[in-house]
Structures are given as structure tokens and as C-alpha cells.
Chains A and B, each alone.
Chain A
Amino acid sequence: MHGLINRAIECFVRDTYGDACWDGVVRAAALDADRFEAMLRYDTALTWRVLDAITGTLGKSRDDVLEDIGTYLVSHPNTEALRRLLRFGGVGFVDFLHSLDELPDRARLAVDDLDLPQLELRECGDGKFVLNLRSELPGFGHVMMGVLRAMADDYGALVMLEYDGRCGGSENITISLVETAYAEGRSFHLGAQAG
């Protein structure tokens, strides 16, 4: 597993529940080091051990934890860089949805050994979309639920999301767009603020 993903999980726990909680996870998962390095690779089994330790520590289901991680990635001030990169995808939420097809390629432009699931958006009319994710690893669908929910907020769109389950290496999320300009949303300028 790419260190960026493990590091994101670690930062989610630290920023949301505090360093003491993360220390508990490190002990529960019997990790060698107390932090992940974003630019190293780790055994995938380690990632699952950490996730199991988190669900055990927080008393939440794995799906909920994964969705919370997705929300955290877009909405926490410490991950502002990622939110900005996602906002480059489009001017409005629908543009953003259509840009998801390119997301794995965009990610590879930045970090060439980061493999994200293949994403494909189908437009079903009446503001309904189905996002299909293909990956050898289960769980990305729930992370994506969190990302989509937070990005909808970011754009000020009102949406309903439904996770349609996993079949083989494929997961579907149904997105129903209720209103594109429901709230004001957060601002986004192409030029980064501070140089």
C-alpha cells in the first residue's frame, strides 16, 4: 500500500481523535513505528491491521470509519492541499463528478506510483449519476462516499448518496443531485493563497 494512504489514515485519527488515540491504535496494531511515511510503500496487510485497530478503538464499523476518512480528506484544514487538487476538477459539482474519470491519472501526475481505483461516471438523467469504482482492494467505495459528501458541501450542492454494494472488484455509488446551488459553498481560487 502506498504510504500516502497509510499516512492519510494516521492523520485522520490524529486530527480527529488526538495523538493519544493514535498511540492506542499503534499499540493495538503492534506497529513497529509510531508514524507512517507518505513517500514509502508498506505491506497492504498492515493497512488492514491499522483499520481493524481503529474500528476496535472507536467502536465503529469499518464502513463508517472509511467514510469518515473520505470526509476528513476533503474537509479538514490540514488536508487543504488535497481539497484544492480536487477542486481543480471542475467549476461546479457536476463538472467535478465528470472529472472523477480522470482522477487516477491526475493522482499519477503528482505521485506516479499511487494507484487509485478506476472510476467511471454514468449519467442516468434527472440529476442521477452512478459512479463505478474498480479496485482489487475493497473499501474505496466507502472512502469515496465521504469524499463525495464533503465535496458536495464544498461546492454548495445538495445531494443524496447511496452505496450499492460490492460485487467482485466493482463498487457502485448512486448520486442524486437535488440542487446544484443549495448553499454558497467554499471559495476556490486557482492561484494558491500564500506564496
Chain B
Amino acid sequence: MKMQLEDAAAVLNVLCPMHVILSDDGTVLHSGATLQKLCHGRTLDGSQFFKVFDLRRPRDMRSIADLRRAAGQKLHLQLREAPHTGLKGVAVPWAHGAVVNLSFGISILDAVRDHALTSADFAATDMTVEMLYLVEAKSAAMEASRKLNQRLQGARIAAEEQAFTDTLTGLKNRRALAHVLRRLSSGPTGFALMHLDLDFFKAVNDTLGHPAGDHVLQEVARILVEETRDSDTVSRVGGDEFVLVLPGRTEPARLDAIAHRIITRLQQPIPFEGQVCRISGSIGTSLSDHYDPPDPDRMMADADLALYASKRQGRARHSFFKPGDRAGAT
């Protein structure tokens, strides 16, 4: 039985509110209410399909015969007039013309706004409204997630700024060292400040790479912790610079012994992934007894002078800063 236009239209109005029924010359015989809504003001029925819609793909489709040949294929179309909404479609031969059903595809977000569409504009079985719901729900959830990430990032930066630990070696950092020195300087206990600078560390980094350098720093940290007491402070204050603070240790002989033990252990070859890293260390020490009251900055600077004296003497040495050295050093 041949389906009459009115019968077809009645069915399609409910199932496909974005359909057009076309005659053999491309005239729109009937169109769904939602599709009509897209053509603000202009009546779709009676107009030429190819004048209202620009068929972008497949290319070179100009006639109903072309459309009928493309039956079942996915069509890409665009409204010729602003806002040039993009549409997907599929054509089916009907009588001597064709029925084309259209939908929005990914342009839906703009389309609902541009054409003020409501739930009633979509077929009852259409998933579009669910998709719009999902888009909004996901955006809201993403926004909550994004804000959480921002706050976590802020908290991480704040925590790092307040941290007392060097993340690579687990030793104290410069901040923590300053804190310890401030406390000791105002207390009654004398202390020694040892400034250790690694020798040949740059060569390890340059020839064996940064992973080897990082490994060496971690090994050095382990040695320094093992050669000191829990009450001592071991800190990494620069790339290959370490500062040890030893409260209650001010006898030069003991300190010299500790420094040499450290240097001896640093000179043991450090294996790393089949290679061997060789370093050494130079140390300069200042004693709080030489200051009244002890000034952390001066003690650091003086330990530094003693360190460079060790370096000048040919590395792998330990020197004490003695009052009077400063004048000659500059």
C-alpha cells in the first residue's frame, strides 16, 4: 500500500520532528516542527531543500537523484542562513522524492541556545536532553574538581615553602639550618659549624649524568648521618654543599677526627648502575667559642673561608677558621 503524504507526515511528526519530505524536484512538501523552528521566520514547506540547506558531504550533491543514490549514508549539512547550524542527516527514497531526517550532532550545545529549543522539540526517545544534562553535570563536577586541584596546588606550594627538608636527600634544608643556628646562637651550649663542599662532583654529573649525581648526593647524606649523632644537624644548603652543626662539640682534635673520617668515607668509590663514581670532600669549620655572642652569618662566612683554605691546600682537607684569618683572606 502506498503511504500517502499525510500519513507519512503524521508518523514522522512524532518520531522525527526534524524531518523533511521532498518531492522529485527538491521542493519541501512537509517538514517537522523542530526543523521549521530552525528557519526563523521563513516557511520551510514549499521552499527548495538545496536552497535552505548546504550539503557539505558527500560533495557535489545537487539533486534529489543524488540524494536517493546516497540513501542510508551519513550526510553533513549546514543551514545556509545564520547561524549556519551544522546538521547530520540521512536520506531515504520516498515516492519519487525522498525523506531526509536531520539531527544536530555535536552542534547541539550552540543549537539549543541559538534556536531556544526545549525538551518538547525533541522526540520522546531522543537522547539529546540527557546529553545536555550530562554536559552540564560533567561541567559542574569538573569545576568542583578544578577548584580542588587549585587549592591542593596552592597548599603544596605553601607546604614546600615552609618545609625544613631537602626532598632529594631527606636532610635538613637551608631554612631548617637557619632555624637551628638561631636557636643555638642564643643558647649556652657551644657548637661547631662544618661546611662541606664535595670535590669532583661536577665531573660525576657531567660524565655519568644527573641520576648518578643524585645517587651520589644520597650516599653522601647517608655517610654524614652515620658519622654524626642524632643531636647534630646535617643540612644540604646548595647543589653539593652541606653544613653540619654539632652542639657541644668544640674540641678541635675531636672535630678534626670526625672531619677526616667523613672525608675518608667520601673517597670510597660509589657504584651506580655498573659505573663507579669517585668524589672527595673539603671541609672548613668555625667554632662558636670564638664569637661573643655567636653570629650565625659570620660563623657561616668564616667556615666558608676555612673551606676555601682546605681547597687551596689541595682538596680532601679539613681546616679550622682561626680569628685573624679573615683579614688575610680578603
Contacts and interface: CB of A to CB of B under 8 A. Distances in A.
A40 B152 CA distance: 12
A110 B118 contact: no
A78 B251 CA distance: 69
A127 to B, nearest CB: 22
Interface string B107-127: 001101110111110000000
Contacts of B119: 88, 90-91, 190
B132 A88 contact: yes
A106 interface: yes
- Which of B129, B138, B144, B147 gathers the greatest number of chain A CB atoms within 10 Å? B144
Q: Which size bracket describes the interface of A in this complex?
A: 20 to 34
Tell me if A's interface is mostly helix, strand, loop or mixed: loop
User: Interface residues of B: mostly helix, strand, loop or mixed?
Assistant: helix
A60 interface: no
A39 B136 contact: no
B290 to A, nearest CB: 48
A85 B118 contact: no
Interface in B293-321: none
Nearest to B121: A190
Contacts, number: 61
Interface string B137-150: 11011001101100
Contact of A85 (B116, B133, B144): B133
Interface in B67-118: 109-110, 112-114, 116-118
Contacts of A88: 119, 129, 132-133, 136
B19 to A, nearest CB: 21
Contact of B133 (A4, A106, A189, A191): A106
Nearest to A86: B133
A169 to B, nearest CB: 27
A109 B137 contact: yes
Interface of B: 109-110, 112-114, 116-120, 129, 132-134, 136-138, 140-141, 144-145, 147-148, 151
28 contacts: A38-B148, A39-B144, A39-B148, A81-B136, A82-B140, A85-B133, A85-B137, A85-B140, A88-B133, A90-B119, A91-B118, A91-B119, A91-B120, A106-B133, A110-B141, A111-B137, A189-B112, A189-B113, A190-B117, A190-B118, A190-B119, A190-B129, A190-B132, A191-B109, A191-B110, A191-B114, A191-B116, A191-B132
Interface of A: 4, 37-40, 81-82, 84-85, 88, 90-91, 106, 109-111, 189-192, 195
